[in-house]
Amino acid sequence: MTDDAARHREKMEKRKAVQDAEVAGKTLEKGLLIVHTGPGKGKTTAALGLMLRALGRGWRVGMVQFIKGGWETGERKAVAAFGPQVTWHTLGEGFTWETQDKARDIAACRHAWEVALGLMADEGVRLLVLDELNIALRYEYLDLAEVVATLRARRPDLHVVVTGRNAKPALIEAADLVTEMGSVKHHFAAGVKAQEGIEF
């Protein structure tokens, strides 16, 4: 073995000891409240990735989309491969500037929340994605205190993922894991359009 290789091995042995101790110190298992927020891309997409991983473990998963309207998406077509493992509700009516009707937007969000409550009560569901719930909270279409209290009181084995920009501080406070997606560079700025298979 060369000196360099020996030094590398020694350094990595020490690092492994540190890593092993860290892993050994983490023993809790619990259903997580996960928030994906921030202006960058990947909030809903990372929730879809979690869904894929959970499906591979044989879990039943739920999706409630609070804002997005019923246009066809690749993700919805893809999850059809998993049959009854997936319950998917697209209950938004599109962006606020599409509907132009605040009362209708509020009614759609409240209906979506009722559906989410039903999935939270369904003990077969292990992962629930509440897509763009942060938008509904930001516009005060739902009561923040009620939503946060309900999420805090979820079943101990239920993982919930909330997506959308501008997550409320009370939600972040209640969450176990919060990732902020930051936009470093965006192809829309270079005139590239939203493309099938990438954006939807």
Under rule CB under 8 A, which residues in 47-106 are in contact with a second copy?
47-57, 59, 73-79, 81-82, 95-103
Q: Which stretch binds a second copy (CB under 8 A): 20-28, 62-70, 116-124, 140-148?
A: 20-28
- Choosing from 27, 71, 153, 156, the residue that interacts with a second copy (CB under 8 A) is 27
Contacts of 62 (CB under 8 A, 6+ apart): 86, 87, 88, 89, 116, 119, 122, 125, 127, 128, 129
Compare residues 114 and 123 and give the one whose CB is closer to a second copy. 123
CB-side neighbour CA atoms (13 Å) of 94: 8
Binders of a second copy in range 154-193 (CB under 8 A):
159, 172, 175-188, 190-193
Q: Which stretch binds a second copy (CB under 8 A): 35-43, 107-115, 130-138, 140-148?
A: 35-43
CB of 166 to a second copy, least distance (A): 13
**Could you tell me whether strands 33-37 and 86-90 are parallel, antiparallel, or unpaired per DSSP bridges?**
unpaired
Q: How far apart are CA 95 and CA 111, in angstroms?
A: 16
